[in-house]
Amino acid sequence: MTNFNFVCPVPDPLVDFVTQSHGAGGKLSQELIDKVFLPAYGNAILATKSDSGELAVPAKPGRLAMTTDSFVVRPLVFPGGDLGSLAVFGTLNDLAVQGAEPLALTAGWIIEEGFAICELHRLAQSMGDALRRSNVQVIAADTKVVERGHGDGCYLTTSGVGWIRDGIMMRGDRIQSGDRILLSGTIAEHGMAVMTYRNGMEFAPPLQSDCASLWPLVKKLLEEVPGIRVMRDPTRGGIAASLNEFAEASKCCLRVWEEKVPVRPQVQRACELLGIDPWVVANEGKLLVVVPKDDADQVLHIMRSDPLGVEGAIIGEVDATHPRKVIAQTRFGTHRIVPMPTGELLPRIC
């Protein structure tokens, strides 16, 4: 499925394909680590090959955040990203929306026997690039191999720890009536890029995943706007799922002005073709923020000054009319309840 043209980046692969022995903890496992993973994202901590990586805790007072995600995206490489970069950015974003500065990541690979080592090399390199761009390291890793027919190329589980400095507290139950809801840009790009690419649908230019680290934008927001109630990166289930989680946690009504939610025309067309509501489609580089009304303009200004948020918008407000519900208000003045998506249509987009 990964049919982008690329030249095998390993000039002298020790073997061409992953075998079960590569996952059995012996010599071949070591070779895979030494020739594929360490060159891609090695560092002094990983090079110790200890059972655990060690790291110092920041000197400033605060607490730890910890997160994990298993990535089973199919295809492994898609326009705008791949399994490696998606795992890094996805994990960093889960920390970021908690208000946590990333400290370190881990990587657990589950590889299907017969997977091409040069493809693995490519994914690992992409992971390394994403890590370097984000100034964070993988400090512990594991590799397992499963028999042919018991995997799908490879799966990757990344976990992350981050540091939440004192005073930051992101929680859905802090949302109050009167608050404003902001979104950092156009929605549904990751999910539709993967879906259309997987189904062989061609667009010119191709739909691109928005896969990116939100931490630089979040860092600015945390420094400038202490009042932020909660943030979320609306991945699986899209903004519909995140907004419903907010409504549930706060027992408030989240009212969203439909025409304020930015969707690229091409993505909108792809959604219409496939009969999918863009609100339920995954994003991998977008930020939902709920803030007190008086902070909304400042948050919008910071968003729009950042490359990740130039199309940011105030998309709605919180009130007490329909507790625990998300209401979409159309441009014609009509209303509809936005349910928690059931998700049947969009498997394996992350």
Residues 178-237 that bind a copy of itself (CB under 8 A): 232-233, 235-237
Please, which residue, 206 or 343, has the CB nearer to a copy of itself? 343
- The residues with which 317 forms a beta bridge, in sequence order, are 180, 255
Contacts of 73 (CB under 8 A, 6+ apart): 83, 86, 194, 348, 349, 350
Q: Is there a contact between 180 and 314 (Cβ–Cβ < 8 Å)?
A: yes
CB atoms inside a 10 Å sphere around CB 146 = 16
CA distance 188 to 262: 10
Contacts of 46 (CB under 8 A, 6+ apart): 37, 38, 53, 137, 138, 139, 140, 141
CA distance 83 to 209: 12
Provide the 8-state DSSP code for 36.
I
Scanning 3-11, 101-109, 217-225, 258-266 for contacts with a copy of itself by CB under 8 A, the matching segment is 101-109
Q: How many angstroms from the chain centroid is the CA of residue 17?
A: 29
Question: By CB under 8 A, what part of segment 294-333 binds a copy of itself?
Answer: none
Q: Which of 1, 4, 8, 50 binds a copy of itself (CB under 8 A)?
A: 50
Does 167 bind a copy of itself (CB under 8 A)? Our answer is no
Residues that contact a copy of itself, how many (by CB under 8 A): 85
Q: How far is the CB of 211 from a copy of itself (least distance, A)?
A: 16
Does 120 bind a copy of itself (CB under 8 A)? Our answer is no
**194 token code pair:** 């993967």
CB atoms inside a 10 Å sphere around CB 280 = 25
| Main-chain dihedrals φ then ψ at residue 187, nearest 5 degrees | -105, 170
Question: By CB under 8 A, what part of segment 57-86 binds a copy of itself?
Answer: 57, 63-72
Q: Which of 49, 251, 335, 336 binds a copy of itself (CB under 8 A)?
A: 49
Give residue for tokens 């939440």: 164
Q: Which of 84, 151, 285, 309 binds a copy of itself (CB under 8 A)?
A: 151
- The residues with which 143 forms a beta bridge, in sequence order, are 109
Q: How far is the CB of 205 from a copy of itself (least distance, A)?
A: 27
Say how many CA atoms lie within 13 Å of 123 toward its Cβ: 25
Please, which residue, 169 or 320, has the CB nearer to a copy of itself? 169
Q: How far is the CB of 347 from a copy of itself (least distance, A)?
A: 4
> Pairing state of beta strands 313-319 and 180-183?
antiparallel
Q: How far is the CB of 94 from a copy of itself (least distance, A)?
A: 4
Does 140 bind a copy of itself (CB under 8 A)? Our answer is yes
Q: How far is the CB of 98 from a copy of itself (least distance, A)?
A: 4
Query: E strand or H helix at 217, and its extent?
Result: helix 215-224
Q: Which of 142, 277, 311, 319 binds a copy of itself (CB under 8 A)?
A: 142
Does 146 bind a copy of itself (CB under 8 A)? Our answer is yes
Question: By CB under 8 A, what part of segment 23-42 binds a copy of itself?
Answer: 23-30
Q: Which of 7, 44, 56, 204 binds a copy of itself (CB under 8 A)?
A: 56
Q: Which of 11, 149, 200, 265 binds a copy of itself (CB under 8 A)?
A: 149
Q: How many angstroms from the chain centroid is the CA of residue 188?
A: 13
Q: How far is the CB of 26 from a copy of itself (least distance, A)?
A: 3
Please, which residue, 25 or 226, has the CB nearer to a copy of itself? 25
Does 135 bind a copy of itself (CB under 8 A)? Our answer is no
- The residues with which 116 forms a beta bridge, in sequence order, are 17
Q: Which of 34, 152, 311, 319 binds a copy of itself (CB under 8 A)?
A: 152
Query: E strand or H helix at 163, and its extent?
Result: strand 154-165
Q: How far is the CB of 3 from a copy of itself (least distance, A)?
A: 19
Q: Which of 141, 263, 267, 326 binds a copy of itself (CB under 8 A)?
A: 141
Does 98 bind a copy of itself (CB under 8 A)? Our answer is yes
Residue of 101, 87, 70, 213 whose CA lies nearest to 138: 87
Q: How far is the CB of 297 from a copy of itself (least distance, A)?
A: 26
